[in-house]
Amino acid sequence: MAMKIGILTSGGDCAGLNAVIYAFEKAITAIDPKVDIYGILGGYTGLINREYKLLKHEDFSNIFNTGGTILGSSRQPYKKLIQAEGAHKVASMKENYHKMDLDALIILGGQGTHKTAALLSSEGLNVIALPKTIDNDLWGTDFTFGFHSAVNVATECIDRIQTTAASHRRAMIVEIMGNKVGWLTLYAGIGGGADIILIPEIPYDINKVIKAVESVKKSKGYCIIAAAEGAMDNEEATLTKKERYQKRGERGEVTASNRIAKAIEEKLNIETRVVVPGHIQRGGAPSPYDRVLCSQVGAYAAKLAIERKYGVTVALNGDKITSNKLDDIAGKTKVVPPKHELIKAAKDIGISFGE
């Protein structure tokens, strides 16, 4: 009998999801044209509610360079799934997997998605995961697909803000996504020529940030700060997540960007503006780099499926595509090491991290 394979996309969308779906279908049907691929709609929610459809060859046409996901996506927080009231959802996913008579389940997603993928694997489902996220925080892979596309967008935003900052002699803060890590801000900050980069892994001293702004402003007349949405100052770094959010809530803050801008204006009397590209960083067509990476990981996932190698996630290791056991990477976060080579290079060319 022909293999029956389910595929779903979970969590936040990003460029490259459709490219991976395209590459997987191309690669697996080249090996076995009789394989049936079922698209599970809306992420894990679709698996819980048994919302799916048999995908035809034409469903995969012309999606390679299209952003988003033809399958739809949603979030099913892992913490809620493992709580008592979430047990029925896990049970439903298992039940529907078997009712659909699937031989394997291909899951595209980030950190939370991989935790649930590992859970389903431990429950006996044949799972292969693929590393998607603009945050690049998934353990065990050099890069996740979607990351470089988001870097391109964030870098272009910083590029474009340079002219406004120069025209009005302002300090401009561009708040970059990335959840709890600074990979996206680090790459975009360097690529966009930011003067100051603030990331969660290196808590900043606001006085040193102000001093750096003053120095840059005197030198070229304006200043660009790339600030991660998770950036925090030295005081916040000593607090728990709950304490930090509570204090920010009391001040009417979600992130630190507006507080940083206010401090710069008050101390230096420099007009300072905050720009938040937000979900624009998730949208649009995948970059050429991501298209190549998506082709590689999609084809490799097809190979794993044909070989019945389950309980793994695809990974990029140097110039090789490989896989890691889900148990080995689920729940781990890949943060930016403070002594990373990119940090050193940025400092060598005069970029401040507010230390």
Q: Edge to edge, what strands does the sheet with 223-228 contain?
A: 196-198, 223-228, 171-176, 272-275
Alpha carbon distance 224, 213 (integer Å): 8
The half-sphere exposure of 245 on its side-chain side, counting CA atoms within 13 A, is: 5
| Residue 159 to residue 224: CA distance in whole angstroms | 10
Sign (positive or negative) of CA dihedral 251, 252, 258, 264: negative
228 in Cβ contact with 182 (< 8 Å): yes
How far apart, in Å, are the Cα atoms of 256 and each of 141, 175, 227? 29, 9, 9
- Annotated active-site residue 135? The verdict is yes
Chain centroid, CA 292 distance in Å: 17
> Measured between alpha carbons, how far is 181 from 335 in angstroms, rounded to an integer?
6
Catalytic residue (choose from 135, 195, 233, 290): 135
Strand 312-317, strand 171-176: pairing:
unpaired
Note whether 200 and 231 are within 8 A (CB): yes
Q: What is Dmax (Cα atoms) for the chain?
A: 73
Crossing angle (nearest 10°) for helices 288-306 and 147-168: 160
**Rg of the chain on CA atoms, in Å:** 22
Active-site residues, by number, are 135
